[in-house]
Amino acid sequence: MKLKEELAYFRGEWTGLRLHLKAFDKKGKQEDLHRFRVQVKKLRAFLVLADSGVAAGQLQKELKPVRKLFKAAGNIRNAYINLELIKLLQPSFTEIMQDQRSLMKRSAHDFRAGAGKHLQRLRRAQRKLKKAIPKLNDVHIDFYYRQQLEQIAVCLAPPYADTSLHACRKQLKMLIYNYKLVKPVLNQPFNEAYLDEVQNVIGEWHDKQVAIDLFSTGGTENDGLVNALRKEKSKLKRQLTVLVKDFYNKATTVNELPLEQID
C-alpha cells in the first residue's frame, strides 16, 4: 500500500470527524454525536493498524485529546440509549426516564459549552498524526487480519465469557472499519456482512448489560425494568451463540453471487 493512499484515507476520515463534531456543537443532534463517535473509532482503528506495523507504535497516544472528547460524548450517548430502552421496555417508568433525560441534557450542555476549544484540539492532533503515519506493508496487513480473526475466533469459542464479548466486538469493528482501506491489498476472503452482524448483536447485548448495571442499583422500584432487560439480554445471548458457531470459517468465506443475480 502506498503512503499517499493512507494519508488520503486519514484526511477523509478526519474531515468527517471534524464536521460531525462541529454539527453537534452547533445543533446538539444525537445523530451528529453518534457519527462523531463512529469517526473517532474509525480513526483509532486505522492508528492501531498503523502502529502494528512499526516496532515502537506511538500513534494512538497522539489521539488522546480526541479520545477525551469521545469519552465525554459517550456520557451523553449512554443516557440517550438508556432513555430509548426505557421507552421501549417500560414506558410507564416516567421518573427514571426523566432522570436520564436530565442527565443527557446536562451532559450535552456541558460538552457544547467547550465548543470553542474542540476544533483547536482537533487541529493540533491532526498535525502531529499526519507527520507520524508510516507506510504499511501489504504482507503485514494480510497477516494482521488473519491474526486478528484467529484471536476473535478463540474469544468467541464456546463457552465464551461475557466479560470478553465487548473486547471481541472492539476487535471486530476495527477490522470492519479498516476494510475499506485494506480491501485492495488483502489476500484473503473477508465476510464483512457476517462480521457486521456479529458485532451488532454483541453491541445490543452490551447496551442491555450496561443498562442492567445502571438500574440494578436503583432499588426495588426498578425490578420490572431490570427483569425486562435481562430477558432481552438472554435472547441476544442465544442468538449470538448460534451466530458464532464455526466463526472463523464463516468470517473467511464469501459466497460469490451468480452473474444473473448481480444487478
Q: Are 145 and 233 part of one and the same domain?
A: yes
35 with 20: CB under 8 angstroms? yes
Choosing from 136, 161, 196, the residue where a domain stops is 136
Q: Are 174 and 48 in contact (CB under 8 A)?
A: yes
Q: Looking at the structure, do residues 114 and 171 belong to the same domain, yes or no? A: no
- Please indicate, yes or no, if residue 259 is contained in any of the structural domains: no
State the cell numbers at 56: 515502537
Distance CA 5, CA 110 (A): 38
Count of the separate structural domains present in the chain? 2
Handedness of CA 214, 220, 225, 230 (dihedral sign): positive
Check whether residue 95 and residue 166 sit in a common domain: no
Are residues 225 and 106 located together in one domain of the fold? no
Upper half-sphere CA count for residue 27 (Cβ side, 13 Å): 8
User: Within the chain, which residues score under 70 in pLDDT?
Assistant: 55-57, 218-221, 256-263
50: nearest Cα among 141, 158, 152, 111: 141
Q: Which domain holds residue 180?
A: 137-252
pLDDT at position 219 is 62
End-to-end, the C-alpha distance of the chain in Å comes to 30
pTM: 0.87
Per-residue pLDDT, 258: 47
Question: Are residues 41 and 103 both part of a single domain?
Answer: yes
Domain assignment present for residue 263? The answer is: no
The maximal CA–CA distance of the chain, rounded, in angstroms, is: 59
